[in-house]
Amino acid sequence: MRNGIRIGRLFGVDIIMDYSWLLIFALITWSLAQRYLAVHRDWSVELRWGLAILTSLLFFASVLAHELAHSLVSISQGIPVPRITLFIFGGASQISEEPRRAIDEFWMALVGPLTSLALAAVFGALWFVTQQASPVISEVSSWLAGINLTLAIFNLLPGFPLDGGRVLRAIAWGITKNLRRATQIAVGGGVLVSWLMIGIGLWQVLGGDWADGLWIAFIGWFLQSAAVQEGQVTVVHDILKGHQVREVLESDCPRVLKQLSLDVFVESIAIPSSKRCFVVIEGDKFLGLVTMHRLNEVPRSKWETTRVADVMIPPEKLVTARIDEDLTEVLEKMGQADINQMPVLEEGRLLGMVTRANILAFLRAHANRQGLGTKPG
């Protein structure tokens, strides 16, 4: 995992803690121990710090419960969730597909804030009954009730990509029956919410409350770019939906023989063709792929004695596509494997290549035709 630590697996979902969470954990623990709990001058330093750490852990568990609620509803709708990442602004469930129906999205989005609301109620009740009996438990409960309530309210703000924005989109989708129109409405809501937050934040900064003001403005700025980006991703998906690999198939890839030495291959095929990717065939059979990347791994002095067969990537190590596969799926696969092209196979026979560049060109042509003018992100 690039930016985090895998801390476990729950209900088949990997739980990843982003490094930024360590910072939040430290900040919350510090402010609890030194500020919030510091009003109790009779409590020992050990007690305050112990409680602060415990409270931070319970906050972490609260955010996790919120995300797990999204994930479990998504899984129950037949959409797998490979991982949940907890990061600086809370959490994100990586849902592998867009919900299929408006009602599915509605519940999937709403269940997170509902969980936070339920947690706020539980901690609130705990605060209420322990007020007299145990000030220690009641202080911690009161803070956790407040933070869960804040989490619920913040996430219900009606702008993409917040949960409330998804709820808004689901409602608009249900009414208009048009996912793209609904997404535009929810993205518009997100931009509006983010500008409001930036405005409120700057207002607070002008009023002298630097720390809170900057924090709110920063979250607003983050939301703004996330809303625009999510909107673009959805538009891209919507344009590509229903279009198959056959529409962008590149069938004129240079073909090479496996016994060719690399120096001959480079001089007579690679350089004149100015392509970056070559297929190795024997008769009708697809044997593998040679990429410029693979070629560059071999020192020049060894090109004479190395054959194409030695550097090619065999089919079993390649991510491949089918001719009737959806372009959205292909793009997702390329993203996951971090590659720019995939061979298209049919019963071991190579039909051609599908490349990221071709999909983007297709996207641009279609976006222009529809007058969208979106840049694929």
Give the binding site for Zn ion (CB under 5 A).
112, 155, 163
Please say which residue, 62 or 142, places its beta carbon nearer to Zn ion: 62
Please say which residue, 112 or 231, places its beta carbon nearer to Zn ion: 112
Please say which residue, 139 or 230, places its beta carbon nearer to Zn ion: 230
67 assigned to active site: yes
Please say which residue, 112 or 165, places its beta carbon nearer to Zn ion: 112
**Shortest gap between Cβ of 119 and Zn ion (angstroms)?**
13
**Shortest gap between Cβ of 66 and Zn ion (angstroms)?**
5
**Shortest gap between Cβ of 155 and Zn ion (angstroms)?**
5
Q: Tell me which residue has its CB nearest to Zn ion.
A: 112
Please say which residue, 105 or 163, places its beta carbon nearer to Zn ion: 163
User: Catalytic one among 46, 67, 97, 105?
Assistant: 67
**Shortest gap between Cβ of 176 and Zn ion (angstroms)?**
24
**Shortest gap between Cβ of 69 and Zn ion (angstroms)?**
8
* SS (HEC) of the chain: CCCEEEEEEECCEEEEEEHHHHHHHHHHHHHHHHHHHHHCCCCCHHHHHHHHHHHHHHHHHHHHHHHHHHHHHHHHCCCCCCEEEEECCEEEEECCCCCCCHHHHHHHHHHHHHHHHHHHHHHHHHHHHHCCCCHHHHHHHHHHHHHHHHHHHHHCCCCCCCHHHHHHHHHHHHHHCCHHHHHHHHHHHHHHHHHHHHHHHHHHHHCCCHHHHHHHHHHHHHHHHHHHHHHHHHHHHHHHCCCEHHHCCECCCCEECCCCEHHHHHHHHHHHHCCCEEEEEECCEEEEEEEHHHHHCCCHHHCCCCEHHHHCECHHHCCCECCCCEHHHHHHHHHHHCCCEEEEEECCEEEEEEEHHHHHHHHHHHHHHCCCCCCCC
Q: Catalytic site residues?
A: 67
